[in-house]
Amino acid sequence: MVRIRNPYFIGPWARAVLSFLPLLGASVARAQGPAPETAPPLFPGGGLVSYNSIFTTRGLMPGISNGIPATAFPTFAHEADFNFTWGFYRNFDLTVVVPVVTNHFDTGSAPAVGESGFGDGMLLVKYRFYRRDSERGTTQASVTFGPKMPTGRTDLTDTNGRRLPAGLQPGSGSTDLFLATNWTYTGLFHLKRLV
């Protein structure tokens, strides 16, 4: 009995090796990564203006008949955060965050609803209350606090004049307290002291 081998058959190990072969031609890319220090003030005596853009897309909600459900989230959302930070003293930062929010909801059958508008802004103060320098590195701790103010609109309506659900509004309509603590040790990986 003569056995004929398929000339196009590739064994499982050869298939695995061939699947990783294109990676040999890939170029190396590096990203910035997280900030090495979050506890100290960013720029004592200086300032920062930054922009952050967040896009979110979702599929259509199945089974929608009439109207928009109260639990609806946007099928397309974009939040543009404008951040203004001023280091007005060695251990203090003042930050103002102004978001511009775009929410759209598409049912597939009815016209899409949604608009753009200002979201809820934040006014934050960071206070560094601990700093210890040593030969091995720097240890720092800070607290950030401030209000999130209801500057965003909460009165957007659909084409029939009905108010859109809370998930589709640019603002929340509530005043909230933002509170965070940060602790940083720089030196474990032989990083330079930044501030």
Q: Are strands 92-105 and 76-89 parallel, antiparallel or unpaired?
A: antiparallel
Task: Pinpoint the alpha helices (H) of the chain.
Answer: 12-20
Residue 47: φ, ψ to 5°: -150, 170
Q: What is the pLDDT of residues 131-161, one digit of tens each?
A: 999 887 888 999 999 999 999 988 888 778 8
Q: Are 37 and 186 spatial neighbours (Cβ–Cβ below 8 Å)?
A: yes
Give the CA-trace dihedral at 139, 143, 144, 145, to 10 degrees: 180
Tens-place pLDDT, residues 81-138 = 999 999 988 899 999 999 999 888 776 666 677 788 899 999 999 999 999 998 878 8
CA distance linking residue 46 with residue 164, whole number of Å: 42
pTM higher than 0.75 = no
